[in-house]
Copies of this chain bind each other. A is one copy, B any other.
């Protein structure tokens, strides 16, 4: 079985999901949409992705620029089993109506509200519960990153309370319009939306979040405090994380002083676009003191949800009912290091 996937919105996330899907053994990309004849639209064509307009106006704009357009959204939906909606924030909920009408399953991104879509997804936490669903939302990059390190602790019943502060990159590297250039902006709404968003996947996880925006484009960085139900050792926590998919531990003592070196490492890995799909922990930047666990983690906002989108498609299409198996297929295809292939959290310093 080869799942036919459409990408509605070939931007930062959409172009990455397209590449990831194209690299899977059991999926293919049947088309992508774009509304303006930008360099990204031209790139889609170079990569042989059929190009569609997302709207009538988009079709016209692309045609006017001389680009070969295969049709509009309606035509694209007729070609696919599932559409991955990577439209700008809050448009997805609008699009849902069109998908429902055309009877096409749809994956949405974290910019949409949980309530608007009805179900939220993370490959590790609720693959099984997501099998066969029609409309599913892959949670945002920050939420995905939090779930990856917190869910295993929660699953073993160790978590009493969580406080997390997200230090957020302000914009992606390809955006030169927005700032701030030299300021820190607190998200005044307390708690920030990230906590409830985690709970949309992991019911009952007692997490409280605050967030600030800072002048960088590379990664988000989280400072997390977990109050445990019982004392644990550093080694116990390290061992737990070393077995999780998509959790990678790097070391300050190896030169990882900041997100700059983390992304340099990613660029050296020869993955597409220098992306980093894993949640990154610091092996020498976490600590358990009695019943309190402190750690930092870094999130590549452009790409960490990409493998989750792939697994989400598999769950919705019931390609396999085995979540860990789906993760394994996805990760191998994308060059994500598997537990065992990674520098061990327990081995260094």
- Report A211 CB to chain B, min CB distance, Å: 8
Q: Are A173 and B208 in contact (CB under 8 A)?
A: no
Q: Are B174 and A261 in contact (CB under 8 A)?
A: yes
Given contacts A38-B254, A260-B174, A268-B43, contact A214 B179 (CB under 8 A): no
Given contacts A43-B268, A273-B268, contact A171 B181 (CB under 8 A): yes
Q: Are A179 and B184 in contact (CB under 8 A)?
A: no
Specify the main secondary structure of chain A where it touches its partner: mixed
CB < 8 Å neighbour of A180 from B177, B184, B273, B294:
B177
Q: Are A39 and B218 in contact (CB under 8 A)?
A: no
Q: A180 vs B256: C-alpha distance in the bound complex, in angstroms?
A: 13
Given contacts A15-B268, A186-B223, contact A215 B216 (CB under 8 A): yes
- Report A270 CB to chain B, min CB distance, Å: 6
CB < 8 Å neighbour of A214 from B190, B215, B287:
B215
Q: Any chain B CB within 8 A of the CB of A210? A: yes
Q: Are B214 and A183 in contact (CB under 8 A)?
A: no
Contact mask for chain A residues 273-286; partner B; CB cutoff 8 A; 1 contact, 0 none:
11000000010111
| Residues of B close to A212: CB separation below 8 A | 167, 221, 223, 296
Q: Any chain B CB within 8 A of the CB of A259? A: yes
Q: A2 vs B270: C-alpha distance in the bound complex, in angstroms?
A: 25
Contact mask for chain A residues 38-61; partner B; CB cutoff 8 A; 1 contact, 0 none:
111011000000000000000000
Copies in the complex: 4
| Residues of B close to A6: CB separation below 8 A | none
Q: Any chain B CB within 8 A of the CB of A37? A: yes
Enumerate A259-306 residues with CB–CB distance to B below 8 Å.
259-261, 263-265, 267-268, 270, 272-274, 282, 284-287, 289, 292, 294-296, 298
Q: Which of chain B's residues has its CB closest to A288's CB?
A: B190
Q: A177 vs B179: C-alpha distance in the bound complex, in angstroms?
A: 5
Q: Are B267 and A190 in contact (CB under 8 A)?
A: no
By Cβ-Cβ distance, the 6 closest A-B pairs, closest first, are A183-B260, A176-B180, A185-B258, A174-B264, A188-B285, A38-B255
